[in-house]
Structure 1
Amino acid sequence: MNAETMNVIQMKRSRIKELWEQELGGFKTETSAMTPHMYNELNREFLDLLMNHVSLGDISEDGTLERFFDKVLRANMPLEYITQGLQTYRRIILEVVLEEDLNKDVAIEIYREVDYWMDPILNKVVTNSSRLWERTVSIQKSALLELSAPLIPVFQHISVMPLIGTIDTERAKLIMENLLEGVIQYRSQVVLIDITGVPVVDTMVAHHIIQAADAVRLLGSTCILVGIRPEIAQTIVSLGIDLSLFPTRSTLQKGMEQALDITNQQIVKEK
């Protein structure tokens, strides 16, 4: 920005602050647990950073704004808060500058200059927020995958793998890896795959389950498929899927009873 425009902005700082607080004070969000005091402090910090960048006459390369934007997003504030704040600041600057007695050519030049100054900041916000979102989604996806297919030992030589949600190719690969590693680690003679929480069993899902059962059998263990609801059984039959190669049971309890028989174990009630 030219020196004249920057001087006007600095002289009108109080006016800018007043208009800023009016505009941003009405911004409401249900996604953040911030108190009104915390929100007001955030607004003040936001305005101070923007005013400091005006005094520098350009976008600072020290990363201050980027760190602030990251902090805002990590506080669960929506991206709209940042974009609305920047657009509000752009509009307020133009308002206070054009309150001065300026000719048409100067006013047009100021509009262009403010746009030239603000657009790179907006671009950085979008870029940084996209990267943060992608990184967060990637971390969450990895964490969910790690927890989505555990093999749980419940009795000696008996383990259970509860499956919940949709099974795609990537998850099926993880299921297979966890299943085979768990069978060896826990020395499981019987593995119960519980599909009670799987909403849809189509040809692809059934194929992955059959592959898992075959792999378990190659290790010398028995795989029992449990949690087959009536609608799932009907789907399996209508698709012509052959599950005759390994035992199936309607509930985990019935599957556990068979697993105890296979391993020559029984549960005895104490008198």
Structure 2
Amino acid sequence: MNLFLRFSTYIGENVESLALEVVEGVLHRLKLDIPQWEKKQAIDMYVSLLRFFGESLVNEDKELVPDFFIDWSKKNAAMQISSNGKISEIAVRYPPTRDVLLEIVTEISIELGLSIKENAFIIKRLNTLLDISLNETIFAFERLFEESREVTQKELAALSAPIIPVKDGVVILPLIGDIDTYRVNYIIEHVIPKIGAMDIHYLIADFSGIYTINVDIAEYLDQIGSMLQLMGICVLTTGLRPELAQIVVNSRINISSINTFANVKKALESVK
């Protein structure tokens, strides 16, 4: 019988005990204690993986990496994102997993009398599986992390520039937190159209809640004010602390065109 076929048959006949050995070996080396459901899930995955691996050695038409293994890798990344975990928490599991698996296949190779060359071929195939799994996990984590960060940015941007109606034809736009290019673009793309759809005559832009701002952002905000004025909306500015006022002075903004008030109350009193 072909030695690879014997190896494949051995894997198939002992797949459950081998999968258990892998999981327990990895947990022992990492000194991890995981819930029973998670352990069972890992065992089931390694049963499928080892069975596939054994079959792939004697079936040249078999794909190099099974879809279920790639899906499993992606799910690991998704679980880390949902629990605010780090990709390093997954990455550290790969070296001990690799060691345990290589020790197992080498022991089987010795028991079945495979040559060094044949064992090296098996190890190479196994390393390829693990490398692709790790890459897919990292790629999925990065993609999901960016998607999560974008959602968070949108939520923060919405919170940082709420539209607050105070009386007929008058709204307050309190700018809150750190204002950067992303939030300025959010205001242009989402806030301005909402204001334009409302029956607004006055908009009070309150800067008292802004932590930091630079000259470029100040100029962008001035452009937003100009857009609103072109829409027939009078823009009143409040809450410009001395350090923010200094940035405005140092910019290319025409200060004489800004209707500035000490606070929102004063601005409201000026609205007739």
Identity %: 21
**1:206 & 1:64 partners in 2: Cα distance?**
46
Q: Contact 1:149–1:174 at 8 Å: present in 2 too?
A: no
Question: 1:56 matched to which residue of 2?
Answer: 52
What residue in structure 2 maps to residue 266 of structure 1?
none
Give distance in 2, aligned partners of 1:205 and 1:186.
Answer: 25
* 189-198 or 10-19: bigger deviation: 10-19
Q: Distance in 2 between matches of 1:84 and 1:164?
A: 40
Are the structure 2 counterparts of residues 4 and 253 from structure 1 closer, same or farther at C-alpha, using a change threshold of 3 Å? Answer: farther
Q: 1:193-232 counterparts in 2 under 5 A?
A: 193-232=205-244
SS at match of 1:244: helix
Matched to 2:43, the amino acid is: L
Deviation at residue 5 of structure 1 after TM alignment: 4.4
1:68 matched to which residue of 2? 75
SS in 1 for 2:92: helix
Alignment of 1:108-119 (within 5 A): 108-119=120-131
C-alpha displacement of 1:219: 3.3
- Residue correspondence of structure 1 range 19-168 to structure 2 within 5 A: 19-26=25-32, 37=35, 40-57=36-53, 58=56, 59-62=65-68, 64-66=71-73, 68-76=75-83, 77-99=85-107, 101=110, 104-168=116-180
1:45 is displaced (CA, Å) by 1.2
What 5-or-longer segments of structure 1 have no aligned partner?
28-35, 264-271
Unaligned runs of 5+ in 2: 57-64
TM-score normalized with structure 2 length: 0.74
CA distance in 1, matches of 2:19, 2:220: 65
- Take 2:245 and 2:76, find their aligned partners in 1: how far apart are those partners? 51
How many residues of Structure 1 are paired with residues of Structure 2 in the alignment? 250
Q: Is the 8 A contact 2:19 2:43 kept in 1?
A: no
How far apart, CA to CA, are the structure 2 residues paired with 1:247 and 1:47? Answer: 68
Matched position secondary structure for 1:228 = coil
Distance 1:96 1:170 in 2: 52
